[in-house]
Amino acid sequence: EIAHQWFGNAVTEADWDDVWLSEGFATYFTLLFIEHAYGHDEFMQGLRDSRKTVLNFYAKNPGYTIVHRNLSNMEDVTSSHTYQKGSWILHMLRGVLGDDAFQSGISKYYAAYFNGNATTGDFRQVMEEVSGRELGWFFDQWLYKPGNLRLSGSWTFDSKAKMVRLTLKQIQGDGSRFRMPMEVGLLFKGQELPVIERIELNDDSSEFAFPAIEAPVEVRLDPNGWVLMEGEVSRKK
């Protein structure tokens, strides 16, 4: 409730169309408190629960966008997308920018608009200024358009070149396409933690190659849980 009061009263959205600035923020920062109080595993479980809620809502409401663009029926002004998907968008933005830039951006945003009103555009501008990065692509695909990222992939090991070759396909089925940085984990025999490689999705189908002395036991998509997605990857026979 403290998070809700702060991220709704200290800075209030300028229009109902931007209500995620209250509810998505409150939901994510509640999870951050849970992480602080109860540990990272509880935080990640909260994200997984939110992800399930987002996917279930999308299956029934495939055209719903978080920034509403002047709803005709104000009963639809809030939904699980406003809360749970809004929180995931902040989590993904943190993953894209890194902790330092994300935290600096949040602080600057609230200092600038404290006891006032803000829009999604205002929030984006502050995060761009702090990070030095253009974020229109991120805000557009996650806030102004519907849909969620779905991936299907396969990998092979090239023993001669000593390379793991990974192919990923976007299979949303609704015509949407996402640009998204992502981690790929290569788990090798005898190791507890995967080697992390970083990629960026851009097209319907993307191919990547990673150096490796031997074939990994497993290839994992987004092993640290930074992207709202569904996806599987298996070794190609």
Among all residues, which ones are annotated catalytic?
Answer: 1
Task: Please tell me the distance from the alpha carbon of residue 206 to that of residue 226, in angstroms, as a whole number.
Answer: 19
Question: What CA–CA distance (Å, rounded) separates 73 from 71?
Answer: 5
């006891």: which residue's tokens? Answer: 115
Number of helical H runs and strand E runs in the chain: 8, 9
Nearest 5°: phi and psi at 178?
Answer: -115, 140
| Residue 120 in tokens | 């999604």
**Alpha carbon distance 9, 54 (integer Å):** 25
In 42-194, DSSP assigns E strands to 116-118, 149-158, 163-170, 180-187
Helix, strand, coil fractions of the chain, as percent rounded to 5? 45, 25, 30
- Given strand 163-170, what is the order of strands in its sheet? 205-211, 163-170, 149-158, 229-235
